[in-house]
Structure 1
Amino acid sequence: MRAYKLKDIISQGTKDLFYIWWQELKAVVKDQGVLIFFILVPLGYPLLYTFIYTNETVREVPAAVVDNNRSSLSREYLRLVDAGADLEIVSHCSDMEEAKTLLKNGKVYGIIYIPESFSRDITKGVQTHVTIYCDMSGMLYYKAMLTANTNASLMMNKQIKIERSGNTTIRQDEVSTSPIAYEDISIFNPQNGFASFLIPAVLILIIQQTLLLGVGLSAGTARENNRFRDLIPMSRHYHGTLRIVLGKSLTYLMIYAVMATYMLCLVPKMFSLVQIAQAGTLAAFMFPYILACIFFAMTCSIFIHHREACMMIYVFTSVPLLFISGISWPGTAIPKFWEVISWLFPSTFGINGFVRINNMGATLTDVLTEYRILWIQTGVYFLTTCIVYRRQITLSRRHVYERLKEIKKRRKTNIV
């Protein structure tokens, strides 16, 4: 008898789970706002971000020159700067004021200033200086300016050393100018580009943020449609905590299994980004990440009482989360307080693990710390979700009982 009762409870719970899954799926399809965050944003945002940075690096950045030296050495230096792919000298100005005007009007993005004593200092064996000014509205402009001038100065230094060394053979010149031979290779980012560096982190963050927004919007809709402003409707199918949590999360998992495949596999392939992850490793790592994001979003949705609230709360957190993840800003430079705060978000460990798997070919063993923490977050946020939903079931029942008592009281008053 007891075994039969347990079997009946499991059977009813399973039916309720799939009923809740179906109701949540229908609610997602019918709600245009939720569809935007669950479907359109994951489809469109990766394409938009990747298309913006598709060139990876900036080339031939226009620059102005103020050459107060006007010697053969200064002209040689400028020739070396202009010969590279980073800068293009478009104007030779008579003074700094003319160059500043060009910079202000957006015709150039940098100024190279060569002092009057440039060649004289070199002839005397005194260290000289070349000053560069850059429009810092774009960090890539600064990078191009610095790279071009650094390469030109290194090349000119070699030429000066060779002239002064008095060596008689080419081999002696090579040894005197470059005692240690080196080769500059950009590991895991062969183009040394911005897209290969930033886009993988952005893709992972989009998964978390769209889940927060979509689940929050769905929770706000559920409260607005409930006469008692409760998250859980009063229905015989919504009596168990596990069936509610698992039913809703199954809906989100099915949607984001497809969306994650599109964002993490197809988008990088479409734009020829670095993609050396093994399919099995990537799938095994992304499974706990998506689960952690789902339960994290469901836990946070308890604070959403109106549809618009999730936009105000979550949409502005994307940039700070990208910074404190340690990808776009060095992790060692992040204050300890913000580092601890970053541990609360699945994106912190998801970004670091995915970048290492996708861009560096890491295995699960190599990202074991991030992988374990994601499973811990999945368990913790699953428990918090069950706690908050259990609380919502209790509140929903209390409101219904209070309503029934009020109706009975009115009926007795009318009879009297």
Structure 2
Amino acid sequence: MKKESLKQTIQQGFAGLFHICKQELKAVFKDQGVLIFFLLVPLAYPLVYAFIYTNEVVREVPVAVIDNSNTALSRQFIRTVDASADVHIQSHCADMEEGKNLLKETRVYGILYIPESFSKDISSGKQTTVSIYCDMSGMLYYKALVLASTNASLTLNKKIQIQRMGNTTERQDEISTAPIEYEDISLFNPQDGFASFLIPAVLILIIQQTLLLGIGLSAGTARENNRFKDLVPISRQYQGTLRIVGGKSLAYFLIYALVAAYVLCLVPQLFDLVQIAQPMTLLAFVVPYILACIFFAMTCSIFIHHRESCLMIYVFTSVPLLFISGISWPGAAVPTFWKVFSWIFPSTFGINGFVRINNMGATLPEVLVEYQALWIQAIVYFFTTCIVYRRQIILSRRHAMERLRMFRLRKLVAKTSK
């Protein structure tokens, strides 16, 4: 009898779990708001970001030149800068005010200022200075102008050094101007592209943020449709904590297994981004990341009482989370408080692990810290989700009992009045 009873309880539990999963999937596809965050945003956002950064690097940045020296040497320096792929000399200005006006009108993004003493200082063996003014609203403009100017300066330095050496052979010139030969190789990002650097981090962050918004919106809808503003409805299938948490999370996992395959595998392939991950390693890493994000979002959804609340709370967290992850800003430069604070979010470990697996070809043992951290987060947030949903079940029962008590009281008052 006990075995039959246990077997029946397990069967009822699984039946309830799959019923909740089915109901949650229906609710997702019926709710346009949730559908947008679960499907439309993950489908469209990666394409938008990839299209914006599809050129990888900024080329031919328009620059204004103020040549107060106006000598053959200064003109040679300007031609060398203009010959680079990064900078295009757009205008020659008479003074700094003219250059500032062009900068304000965004007709140029930088000013190259050559002083009057440029050629005189070089001829007398003194060090001269070339000043660069750049529109810092875009760091890539600054990077392009500085690299072009630095390379032009190095090239000009070599020529001046060779001229001063007198009668020497070509081999002697090579050794004197470059005693140590070096080769500049950018590992895992050979073109120094912005898309290859940033897009992988953005892709993994999109999964977490859309889950937060979609599950939060779903929770807000459930509360608004409930008479007592409870998250869990009063129903026979919604009685067990594990079946509720398991059913809802299974529905989200089924959706995001497909979303993750599209976002993390298809999008990089469409735009020819670096993708050298081993398929099984990537799969093993993504599974705990999705689970951690789902349970984290379900735990956070307890604070959402209205549909609009999740937009106000979560939308503006994307950029800070990207910074404190240690990808767009060096992790060593992140203050200790914010570094520890970032461990709350699955995206921190997800971004660092995914970039190393996808862009650097790391194996699972090489990202063991991030992999273990994601499993720990998944387990911890699973228990916090169970706790908050258990509390919601108790509140729903309490409200139902109060409602039944009030109904009986009204019925008794009606009988006594007759």
Identify the TM-score tier after normalising by the shorter chain: over 0.9
Q: Does 1:397 align with 2:381?
A: no
Please list every run of at least 4 consecutive aligned residues from structure 1 whose deviation after the TM superposition is greater than 4 angstroms: none
Q: Does 1:135 align with 2:125?
A: no
Q: Give the Cα separation in 2 of the matches to 1:373 and 1:299.
A: 18
Give 1:27 shift.
0.4
Aligned residue number for residue 299 of structure 2: 299
* Deviations 1:21-40, CA, capped at 9 Å, x for gaps: 00001000100000000000
Counterpart residue type for residue 89 of structure 1 = I
Q: Give the Cα separation in 2 of the matches to 1:383 and 1:154.
A: 60
8 Å CA contact 1:17–1:246 kept in 2: the answer is yes
Q: Give the Cα separation in 1 of the matches to 2:380 and 2:301.
A: 16
Q: Does 1:348 align with 2:348?
A: yes
Q: Give the Cα separation in 2 of the matches to 1:20 and 1:354.
A: 32
Counterpart residue type for residue 311 of structure 2 = M
* Deviations 1:66-102, CA, capped at 9 Å, x for gaps: 1011111111111110111011112111111111121
Counterpart residue type for residue 251 of structure 1 = A
Identity level (%): 73
Q: Give the Cα separation in 2 of the matches to 1:87 and 1:48.
A: 26
Q: Which runs of 5+ in 1 are unaligned?
A: none
Aligned residue number for residue 211 of structure 1: 211
Q: Secondary structure at the match of 1:113?
A: strand
Aligned length: 416
Aligned residue number for residue 178 of structure 2: 178
Give 1:166 shift.
3.4
Give 1:172 shift.
1.2
Counterpart residue type for residue 264 of structure 1 = L
Give 1:167 shift.
5.5
Counterpart residue type for residue 277 of structure 1 = A
Q: Give the Cα separation in 2 of the matches to 1:93 and 1:15.
A: 77
Q: Secondary structure at the match of 1:147?
A: helix
Give 1:131 shift.
0.2
Counterpart residue type for residue 227 of structure 1 = R
Q: Does 1:14 align with 2:14?
A: yes
Aligned residue number for residue 44 of structure 1: 44
Counterpart residue type for residue 9 of structure 1 = T
Aligned residue number for residue 361 of structure 1: 361
* Deviations 1:270-306, CA, capped at 9 Å, x for gaps: 1111111111111110000000000000000000000
Q: Give the Cα separation in 1 of the matches to 2:382 and 2:280.
A: 25
State the TM-score, normalizing by the size of structure 2: 0.98
Q: Does 1:2 align with 2:6?
A: no
Q: Secondary structure at the match of 2:66?
A: strand
Q: Does 1:412 align with 2:412?
A: yes
* Deviations 1:302-358, CA, capped at 9 Å, x for gaps: 000000000000011000000000000111111111111100000000000000011
Q: Give the Cα separation in 2 of the matches to 1:335 and 1:293.
A: 24
Q: Give the Cα separation in 1 of the matches to 2:239 and 2:212.
A: 25
- Judge which range, 111-120 or 153-162, deviates more: 153-162
Q: Give the Cα separation in 2 of the matches to 1:79 and 1:106.
A: 22
Q: Secondary structure at the match of 1:365?
A: helix
Aligned residue number for residue 111 of structure 1: 111
- Judge which range, 83-92 or 383-392, deviates more: 83-92
Aligned residue number for residue 66 of structure 1: 66
- Judge which range, 342-351 or 1-10, deviates more: 1-10
Q: Secondary structure at the match of 1:173?
A: helix
- 1:22-101 alignment runs, 5 A limit: 22-101=22-101
Give 1:401 shift.
0.5
Q: Secondary structure at the match of 1:350?
A: helix
8 Å CA contact 1:167–1:173 kept in 2: the answer is no
Q: Secondary structure at the match of 1:366?
A: helix
Counterpart residue type for residue 384 of structure 2 = T
Q: Does 1:279 align with 2:269?
A: no
Give 1:123 shift.
1.1
